[in-house]
Structure 1
Amino acid sequence: MKPSTLGPITNHLIDSLPRQDRASLLADCEVIDLEFGEVITEPGGRILHVHFPLNSFISLIANLSDGEQLEVAMVGSEGMYGMPLILGLDKSPLRALVQGAGPALRLPTIVFGRHLEQSPALQVLLKRYLYVLMHQLSRVAACSHFHQVEARLARWLLMTQDRAHSDQLHLTHEFLAMMLGVRRAGITLAAMALQARRLISYHRGDITVLDRAGLIEASCGCYAADRSLYRRVITDGGAP
């Protein structure tokens, strides 16, 4: 994790705050570069900093006792890492792994707590985001059980593309298999099927999204449902 320089703010949660609340929060934030593969917190570990990704993103991974792992949520420029703090808890139930390198805003949990106490707007916004994140967690569980690997892979690639802000992704079969909780062979077949439909190109871990609209059509309905809920609850500030 390295210091970075501040570019245009692209974190949607921070951009959604009233101007005074946003300025106050940004004044206490440090801009850092998250590095690919960096572990921010292990399960049960204390959350020392809150992170607002800009052009980076973080995988939240459930670790089982037999060593199996499954990504259950993803946090990019639409969100924040450190949500247990909203509930008054400072330990993470999940592994937080940097999946997309890039800049993020960071501040210590103590400082974040002060802002949370002083800003009703921040409280309301993050409670709404917590609702969205809970929805994402529950939908991943159902999606993993009921939907085909090809549709789930299409959804996951779209989610990654949204947070990477790029059509170019570097994702190995081994990493994709771990994220989706399936065998490597299943990922290979699913990626080949998407490539045969000219939705993506794939070569040695380098994936290029060729047809986003087609990839959305190939994905399960979970992708559209997640985006719709975020827009209603966060962007529009309405009811779920």
Structure 2
Amino acid sequence: MSFASPLIITNQLLDCLPCTVKSKVLEQCEEVDLEFGSILSERAHDFQYLYFPTTSFVSLITTLGGDHPLELGLIGNEGMLGATMVLGVNTAPSRAIVQGPGKALRISVNKMHRLLRDIPVLADALKHYLYVLVTQLTQNAACVHFHKIEPRLARWLLMTQDRAHQDQFHLTHDFLANMLGVRRSGVTIAAGALQSRQLIHYSRGDITILDRSGLEVAACECYEALLRDHARLFPSRVPLMLPACC
């Protein structure tokens, strides 16, 4: 009888570094467990730690006045929270909240500052990733303005699945409404439409992706655009929708 090997999920941004550089970075990191809802940074406040998610993922959100929060982007094991430090800026541009609990590699600001000073190839990798992250933020801004809720929800579910590395996750209507910046009723209608097409199953906040290919067709063009940007700057890395294995 044969058994499937357990899935090993690493951080793809670190994996793209030369082995010696990756080892130096890992020596300065500690593995931590991130809990759902934990706030890792606040807008206009200095970072205390920077994070390379492995099995966890983080939402970047913003709020205006008394309005509900709006998600700007997602960071999973393809990237890093705090990449703006490569620009010499230690101030967080947005709130970062753990959306998917799991593990991450954490490094202090002082340790990362020394690594960036001493290892140019690390700085170059973070600059490339920062560009990918900025394109995600700008693409999401346009998506919120121009695209309907259903294709936006399909895109968001695909992005979440990419970072959750599983087909099932728990997301309430209220949470989805906040992340998409729409009314709860809009999410209910959109999720119902995707479920009626047998692309997802949604019950009491538990979402199961049933047909990923169909969900990609249902998603707006923004999802494919983000994948192209990612692949163009990191051509040697595992595609975003697949877990990195070693």
Interval of TM-score (by shorter of Structure 1 and Structure 2): over 0.9
* Alignment partner, residue 96 of structure 1: 96
Kindly provide the amino acid, as one letter, of the partner of residue 218 in structure 1.
A
Secondary structure (helix, strand or coil) at the match of 1:44 reads: coil
Contact 2:9-2:55 at 8 Å conserved across structures: no
* Alignment partner, residue 113 of structure 1: 113
Kindly provide the amino acid, as one letter, of the partner of residue 73 in structure 2.
A
Kindly provide the amino acid, as one letter, of the partner of residue 189 in structure 2.
L
Scaled by the length of structure 1, what TM-score is found?
Answer: 0.94
CA-to-partner distance for each residue in 1:42-98, whole Å, 9 max, x for gaps?
222210111000010000001112333110010000000002211211111211000
Alpha-carbon distance between aligned partners in 2 of 1:235 and 1:128, rounded to the nearest angstrom: 12
* Alignment partner, residue 37 of structure 1: 37
5+ residue gaps, structure 1: 1-6
Alpha-carbon distance between aligned partners in 2 of 1:117 and 1:84, rounded to the nearest angstrom: 14
Question: 1:26–1:51: structure 2 CA closer, same or farther, 3 Å change rule?
Answer: same
Runs of 4+ in 1 over 6 A off after TM superposition: none
Q: How many residues matched? A: 231
* Alignment partner, residue 52 of structure 2: 52
Pairing of 1:63-74 with structure 2 (within 5 A) = 63-74=63-74
Percent of aligned pairs with the same residue? 52
Kindly provide the amino acid, as one letter, of the partner of residue 118 in structure 1.
D
* Alignment partner, residue 205 of structure 1: 205
Alpha-carbon distance between aligned partners in 1 of 2:67 and 2:108, rounded to the nearest angstrom: 31
* Alignment partner, residue 124 of structure 2: 124
Cα-Cα RMSD = 1.3
* Alignment partner, residue 13 of structure 1: 13
Pairing of 1:114-193 with structure 2 (within 5 A) = 114-193=114-193
Contact 1:125-1:234 at 8 Å conserved across structures: no
5+ residue gaps, structure 2: 1-6, 238-246
Scaled by the length of structure 2, what TM-score is found?
Answer: 0.91
Kindly provide the amino acid, as one letter, of the partner of residue 121 in structure 2.
A
Q: Quote how far apart the aligned CAs of 1:8 are.
A: 4.5
CA-to-partner distance for each residue in 1:8-46, whole Å, 9 max, x for gaps?
451100000001000010011100010001011122221
Kindly provide the amino acid, as one letter, of the partner of residue 183 in structure 1.
R
CA-to-partner distance for each residue in 1:145-200, whole Å, 9 max, x for gaps?
10110000000000000000000010000000000000000000000000000000
Alpha-carbon distance between aligned partners in 2 of 1:39 and 1:50, rounded to the nearest angstrom: 12
Deviates more, 1:111-120 or 1:208-217: 111-120
Q: Which has the higher contact order (CA 8 A, sep 6+)?
A: 2
Alpha-carbon distance between aligned partners in 1 of 2:9 and 2:181, rounded to the nearest angstrom: 34
CA-to-partner distance for each residue in 1:97-118, whole Å, 9 max, x for gaps?
0000000000101001111111
Kindly provide the amino acid, as one letter, of the partner of residue 111 in structure 1.
K
* Alignment partner, residue 217 of structure 1: 217
Contact 2:84-2:130 at 8 Å conserved across structures: no
Contact 2:58-2:74 at 8 Å conserved across structures: yes
Alpha-carbon distance between aligned partners in 1 of 2:23 and 2:141, rounded to the nearest angstrom: 37
Contact 1:169-1:208 at 8 Å conserved across structures: yes
Alpha-carbon distance between aligned partners in 1 of 2:32 and 2:235, rounded to the nearest angstrom: 26
